[in-house]
Structure 1
Amino acid sequence: MCRKHRENGVNWIMGKVMKPGVNIKGTKGGLLFLLDESRPFSAVLSELKYKLENGSNLWEGPDTRVLIKLGRRQITRDEEKEMRRLFSSHKNLIIHSIETSNGRPYLVDDRGIQILTGTVRSGQVLEHRGDLLLLGDVNPGGTVRSTGSIYVLGALRGLAHAGGEGDEEAIIAASSLYPTQLRIAGVVSRPPDEWGESGVTGMNFAYLVNGQIAVDKMHQLTRIRPEIEWKENRFRS
């Protein structure tokens, strides 16, 4: 059985130290806080709290600008408030900016995934801000555009454009993926001929890698886009 304990603010498993969830580096402009995107944010906040409470000599002094980098993670407003509350115990630590590594806004859309039902027929255009879950089909000649990711619980046979405002982490997923065209951020891909009726089967998703659109099976989603799993967990009631 895996044994885990915490000592001096550090997690240990079977006698081996884990990678810190919070790394702090000094820069010319102040302090850089690097928060591990692979840990539950509650665990990261717990480690941050420990380090802020147990480094009194380090935190004393003149006003210091703080830059927080979240990796690819987005956080909710409540999570942001809790993080800012931890820093507020040291009046000289002034949060200057909070950033993600992929250029996305650091705050997640509090509305979560918008669910719509219906069929997008030829000549129709469905536009949405944020992530979209469509319960229905997109027929040939139909178009779906979103600033976030697009999930189609049905057949996608028309055009789909995800990440419409430059979000390169957005994906396009469908139960049956036979699009006439896919777009993610500024990248356009026309599917190969083998994507015909006998081509891609099962639920698949498209994503950007090395500036090109790739397609993979849905069970690979959490490996390729681990930050999406965090987002889905956050919206779960």
Structure 2
Amino acid sequence: MIEENQTITIKGTKDGLTLFIDDRGSFDHVLDELADKLSEYHPKKDEPVVPVTVKLGNRYINDRQKQQLHTLIGTHNRFTIDFFDSNVIHRDEALTWKEDSEVKVVNKIVRSGQVLENVGDLLLIGDVNPGGKVISTGNIFVMGNLLGIAHAGANDDRHAVIAASYMKPSQLRIADYISRAPDYESEGVYMECGLIDDDQDKIVIDRLQVLSQKRNDISGFERRMLNG
């Protein structure tokens, strides 16, 4: 089904329907025009439910408007909205994305009994003493001695990594993986990182330089830090 006019375009794809909504018209006009288009469709009861992707362009819609579209498209039709695709996000969503994607720099020593928690990637300039704990939803980079506990990918990010100038932790944790006895000598190692090896299904310790090959999504700042 392909229909076009100034405000709405509906195109069929192999995955269902894509509904393009022009971002220049008012939302009320969009609802009226969409209602007119859908009134021409009379599905049979045994027809399969068709998923719909709604492309909004540079238009932002709130939860109430999303519910209006859900109701309009789904009522008396064999359609269901699968996804809203917009170039615009809410300020709170943007701030959350910014927080998650930034590298936060902290200059301190995490002493025994202390817990340092962070959202996004963490660069700690200082030591994590025995009994201290560092938790981050992203990667953890310790420019110092990691002697306590480090938990990266705390929101179940299995691609997170832990790196330290001197690594002799009491425990490493990435997502839900825990390494209490890492595979390195008991005296500790310098400039190493811990990451999940999918083949071995566990946390492994490797040279710091491997991160640029094994984790392509680390930022330019992190690459410069790791490569000196």
AA partner of residue 113 (structure 2): G
TM-score between both structures, scaled by the size of structure 1: 0.53
1:209 to 169, 190, 197: 197
Confirm or deny that 1:29 pairs with 2:16: yes
Q: Give 1:66 deviation, angstroms.
A: 6.5
Partner residue in 1 for 2:213: 223
Q: Which contiguous aligned blocks of 4+ residues in structure 1 show a shift greater than 4 angstroms?
A: 105-108, 230-233
Whether the 8 Å CA contact 2:57–2:85 is kept in 1: the answer is no
Stretches of structure 2 that go unaligned for 5 or more consecutive residues are 1-12, 19-37, 39-51, 59-81, 87-92, 224-228
Give the whole-Å Cα distance in 2 for the aligned partners of 1:229 and 1:167: 16
Confirm or deny that 1:113 pairs with 2:72: no
| Distance verdict in 2 for CA 1:171–1:195, change over 3 Å | same
Give the whole-Å Cα distance in 1 for the aligned partners of 2:53 and 2:154: 33
Stretches of structure 1 that go unaligned for 5 or more consecutive residues are 1-25, 32-61, 68-82, 86-93, 99-104
Whether the 8 Å CA contact 1:126–1:144 is kept in 2: the answer is yes
1:189 to 179, 182, 198: 179
Whether the 8 Å CA contact 1:114–1:130 is kept in 2: the answer is yes
Q: How does 1:151-170 map to 2 (within 5 A)?
A: 151-170=141-160
Q: How does 1:133-152 map to 2 (within 5 A)?
A: 133-152=123-142
Q: Give 1:95 deviation, angstroms.
A: 6.3
| Distance verdict in 2 for CA 1:139–1:223, change over 3 Å | same
Give the whole-Å Cα distance in 1 for the aligned partners of 2:220 and 2:176: 25
Q: How does 1:95-110 map to 2 (within 5 A)?
A: 96=84, 109-110=97-98
Partner residue in 1 for 2:77: none
Give the whole-Å Cα distance in 2 for the aligned partners of 1:164 and 1:152: 16
AA partner of residue 200 (structure 1): V
Q: Give 1:154 deviation, angstroms.
A: 0.4
TM-score between both structures, scaled by the size of structure 2: 0.55
Structure with higher Rg: it is 2
| Matched residue SS, 1:145 | strand
Give the whole-Å Cα distance in 1 for the aligned partners of 2:189 and 2:222: 26
Partner residue in 2 for 1:171: 161
Give the whole-Å Cα distance in 2 for the aligned partners of 1:133 and 1:207: 16
Give the whole-Å Cα distance in 1 for the aligned partners of 2:183 and 2:158: 25
Q: Percent identity?
A: 42
| Matched residue SS, 2:98 | coil
Whether the 8 Å CA contact 2:183–2:204 is kept in 1: the answer is no
| Matched residue SS, 2:178 | strand
| Matched residue SS, 1:208 | strand
| Matched residue SS, 1:127 | strand
How many aligned residue pairs are there?
150
| Matched residue SS, 1:109 | helix
| Distance verdict in 2 for CA 1:107–1:189, change over 3 Å | farther
Q: Give 1:132 deviation, angstroms.
A: 0.9
Q: Give 1:167 deviation, angstroms.
A: 1.1
